Amino acid sequence: MTRLENFISRMTAQRDILDQVCPEVAKMEGLVLELGLGNGRTFHHLRERLPGRRIVVFDRELSAHASSIPDAEDFVLGEIRETAKRFIGIDAALVHADIGTGYDDRDAVTSTWLPDLIASLLRVGGFAVSGTPLDHPLLQRLPPPPSVPADRYFVCRRV
């Protein structure tokens, strides 16, 4: 697979998984947390799919397209591993983490702390969607939509 094909496959997986979980998220209370704003594309998608829902967004920098910048009070600047700690116990309905790098060694480091963090941010029944695996006893892996190849992007439910 070329890097272009890999990119397209990741974007498609993000869209299809977010579209799968958003109708469920819409039925439950709780914040939506977007870990990794980047260009803001998935933030923009979540804002469209979950109108009126508060979405708190985290990144170490603000470099999104002008159309996809969160309100100042909903943007948390800094290293997610540290900044998200103050949200532990917030009972989020959805945490989406798109902070994979494409480098296996770096993503392996992220996998040492991200699953624990996400499990502590979600309410029971809440959803986690991530580009990196979320191996954690409280995060039950769900099958992605048929359009998403195995292990392309991950969707879990907090038990």
Residue 53 binds ligand SAM (CB under 6 A): no
Residues 99-128 that bind ligand SAM (CB under 6 A): 99
- C-alpha–C-alpha distance, residues 67 and 64, integer Å: 8
Q: How many CA atoms lie within 13 A of 79 on its CB side?
A: 5
Indicate the pairing of strand 55-59 with strand 122-130.
Answer: unpaired
All residues at 6 or more sequence positions from 132 whose CB lies less than 8 Å from its CB, including other chains? 97, 99, 100, 107, 110, 111, 114, 154
Among 61, 73, 104, 105, the residue binding ligand SAM under the rule CB under 6 A is: 61
- C-alpha–C-alpha distance, residues 147 and 83, integer Å: 34
Nearer to ligand SAM, 59 or 119 (CB): 59
Given a contact cutoff of 8 angstroms between Cβ atoms, the answer to whether 102 and 9 are in contact is no
Nearer to ligand SAM, 9 or 125 (CB): 9
Binding segment for ligand SAM (CB under 6 A), chosen from 23-31, 58-66, 122-130, 135-143, is 58-66
Residue 98 binds ligand SAM (CB under 6 A): yes
Residue 60 binds ligand SAM (CB under 6 A): yes
Binding segment for ligand SAM (CB under 6 A), chosen from 31-39, 49-57, 116-124, 146-154, is 31-39
Binding site for ligand SAM (CB under 6 A): 36-42, 59-61, 79-81, 98-99
